Structures are given as C-alpha cells and as structure tokens.
Structure 1
C-alpha cells in the first residue's frame, strides 16, 4: 500500500503537477489522521469494555463477600445482645441494694468482662477502592452507597477499638483488684478456668459507684456498637440491591 502511494507521488512530481500533488498530500495526511483517530477510538472502546468487565467482576465478588458477612454480623448481634441484657440485669441488682439480690450478681457480672471484637474488614471491597475502580463507577447512587458504607465501617471499627481499650484500661484492672473472676465468669468460659479461689462478698458492691459507672459505660458502648452493626447490615443489603441492578 505504501509503495502504491509512493508511486502516485513520484508520477505527479515527474509531471510537474505540484498543485495536484499538494492536494493529494493533504488528502493522504487526512487519511492517516482518520486512521489514527479510528485506531484510538477502537482502543478506547476496547479499554472501556475491559474496564466494564473488571467492574462487573468486582461487583460480583463484593456481593459474594457481603452475603457471606451478613450472617456473621447477625449472629454477633444476637450474642452481644445477651451481654447487654446481662449488664442491664447487673444494674437492676445493684440498684436494689438487697443482700439476697446482690448474690445474683454471680450470674451477671461475667458480662462486664466480655469484650468481643469484630475488627471489620472487607478485602475485596478494599482492593476495589485501592485499585482506583471507585472513580470509574458511573452510577451516582452506587458511588454514594460505597461512601456511606465506608463511613459506617470506619465508625463501627472506632467503637470496636474503644471497647477493647475500655476492657484493658478500666474493666480488667478493676476486676483484678475487686473480686474473684472465676466465680462470676460466664458459663461458656468456665471450662477454661479452675474452680476455686476466694469467695466473693457481694455486699461489697452495695453503693459501689465505680462498678455502677463502669457497667453503665459498658452498657452504653455495647448498645451503640449494636446500633452501628445493624446500620452496617442495612447498608450492606442496600449496596447488594444496587449492585445486582447494575449487573442486570
């Protein structure tokens, strides 16, 4: 093809048809430019097609990751609500100031030392964001949903961190100096412990302001934690719905 064009140019120059040659040269340049533009267009189309395929693959993997995670969060809510209920019961017993009622603390105080941590993380979702694919999402509602989910995750993890620090810095030191933990540990942990140790005088907790405030703070934190985990589940389900519509 190049040889053909070269031959045409040579013929025009030999015939001294400069004007015709210039017009031909301009036309040849135009054809080359059109070819380049078409090649770029095809390349862009292929690139967009590849990106869309990668986006869809991420959407499918994110849906799978979330669908696996939701039941885990739901089970955690059930278990953590049991801890919340026991801490409420502790406050009711402390408030009664009745010696016989205070003895029932042996069945509830163990919840004070329970600090379960989820450490919420989504590897596929993090990979999706860190790879820059979030900027390629065209659906404004979907993009906003990703931001909302990320915000809930960050705040929930901050509460998670606080719960662990609350236990290590406040609750555990109090328990160590105040009473025999084995005597009040929840049933699920009893098989890990050795029965025995000094008996607990439960009347010592009557008018114990430190214990009252500690359980109250614990109740507040765990209640807030459950609220945000439920919000997280709601955001996850909402994101799944939008992703599934994008895949249709």
Structure 2
C-alpha cells in the first residue's frame, strides 16, 4: 500500500502537478491519521473489554469468598454469645455476695479466660484493591459499598487486637496469681488439662473490685465484638446483592 502511494507521488511530481500533489499529500496524511485513530479506538475497546472481563472475574471470586466466610462468622457469633452469657452470670453471682452462690462461679469463671478472635482477612478482596481495580469500578453505589465494608473490617480487627491484648495484659496475670485455672476451665478445655491443684476459696471473690471490673470489661468487649461481626455480615450480604446485579 505504501509503495502504491509513493508511486502516485512520484508521477505527480514528474508531471509538475504541484497543486494536485499537495491536495493528495493532505489526503494521504488525513488517511494515516484516521487509521491511527481507528487503531487507538480498537485498542481502547479491547483494553476496556479485557478490564471488564477481569472485573467480572473478581466479582465472582469475591462473592464466593464472602459466601464461604459468612457461615464462619455466624458460628463465631453463637460461640461468643455463650461467653457473653457466662460473663453475665458471673457478674450476677458476684453481685449476690452469697457464699453458696459464689461457689457457682466454678461453672462461669472459665469464660473470663476465653479470648476468641477471628483475625479477619479476605485475600481475594485485598488482591482486588491492591491491584488497582477498585478505581475502575464505575458503579458509585458498589464502590461506596467496598469502602463501607473495608471500614467495618478495620474496626472489627482493632477490637480483635484489643481482645488479645486484654487477655495477655490483665486477665491471664490475674488468673495466675488468684486461683486454680483448671478448676474453672470451660468443659471444652478440660481434656487438655490435668485435674487437681489447690482448691478455690470462692468467698475470696466477694467484694473483689478487680475481678468485677475485669469481667465487666470482658463483657463489654465481647458484646461490642459481636455487634461488629453482625455488622460485617450485613455489609457482606449487601455487597453480594450489588455484585450479583452487576453480573446480570
């Protein structure tokens, strides 16, 4: 094609048809520019098509990741609620100041030493954000939902970190110096321990301000954790609904 155009230019110059040559040259430049623009348009179209396919693939994987995760969070809520209920029972027993009631602490104090955490992480969702695909999302509502979910995850993880720190810095040291842990450990942990050790005088906990505050803080933290886990589940379900609409 280029050889053909060069031949035409040569013929026009030899025939001294300068005006015709200039018009032809302008037309040739215009054709080249149109060709470049068309090529760029096709390239952009292909790039957009590839990006949309990649976005859809991520949406499908994120849905799968979240759908797998929700039952895990629901099971955690049930287990953590049991800890909450036992800590409430502990406070009620401490509040009674009755020696016979205080003996029932053997069935509830183990919840104080139970520090369950989730360390929430979503590999596919993190890959999606770190690869820059969030900026390619055109749906404003969907983009906002990603930001909202991330905010809940960050706050929930901050509580998760606090639960571990609370146990290591205050609860475990108190238990070590105050009573025989094996005697009050929850049933699920008893098979890991050796029965025995010094008996517990439960009347020592009457008017024990340190224990009262410790259980109260534990109850507050566990309750707040459950609230944010439930918020996380709600945000996950909401995100799934929007992603499924995007895939339709």
TM-score range, shorter chain: over 0.9
The reply to whether residue 15 of structure 1 matches residue 15 of structure 2 is yes
Residues of 2 paired with 1:145 and 1:49: CA distance? 24
> How many angstroms does 1:200 deviate by?
0.1
Name 1:202's counterpart in structure 2.
202
Q: Deviations over 1:131-155 (max 9, x none)?
A: 0000000000000000000000000
**1: CA distance, partners of 2:87 / 2:26:** 86
Deviations 1:179-216 (A, max 9, x none): 00000000000000000000000000000000000000
- In the superposition, the TM-score normalised over structure 1's length comes to 1.00
Distance 1:85 1:238 in 2: 29
Query: Partners in 1 of 2:18 and 2:150 — Cα distance?
Result: 68
Structure 1 residue 3, shift from structure 2 partner = 1.2
User: TM-score if structure 2 supplies the norm length?
Assistant: 1.00
Offset of 1:117 from its aligned partner? 1.1
Q: SS state of the match for residue 177, structure 1?
A: helix
Deviation at 1:2, TM superposition (A): 1.1
Deviation at 1:7, TM superposition (A): 0.8
Aligned residues: 248
Aligned to 2:39: 39
Q: Deviations over 1:35-72 (max 9, x none)?
A: 00000000000000000000000000000000000000
More off after superposition, 14-23 vs 122-131: 14-23
Instruction: State yes or no: 1:113 paired with 2:118.
Output: no
Distance 1:55 1:112 in 2: 45
Cα-to-partner distance string for 1:65-89 (whole Å, 9 max, x where unaligned):
0000000000000000000000000
Are 2:137 and 1:137 equivalent residues in the alignment? yes
- Structure 2: which 5+ runs fail to align? none
C-alpha distance in 2 between matches for 1:168 and 1:89: 23
* Deviations, residues 160-183 of structure 1 (Å, cap 9, x unaligned): 000000000000000000000000
Deviation at 1:228, TM superposition (A): 0.1
Moved segments of 4+, more than 3 Å: none
SS in 2 for 1:48: helix
Distance 2:160 2:11 in 1: 83
Partner Cα distance (1:20, 1:218) in 2: 91
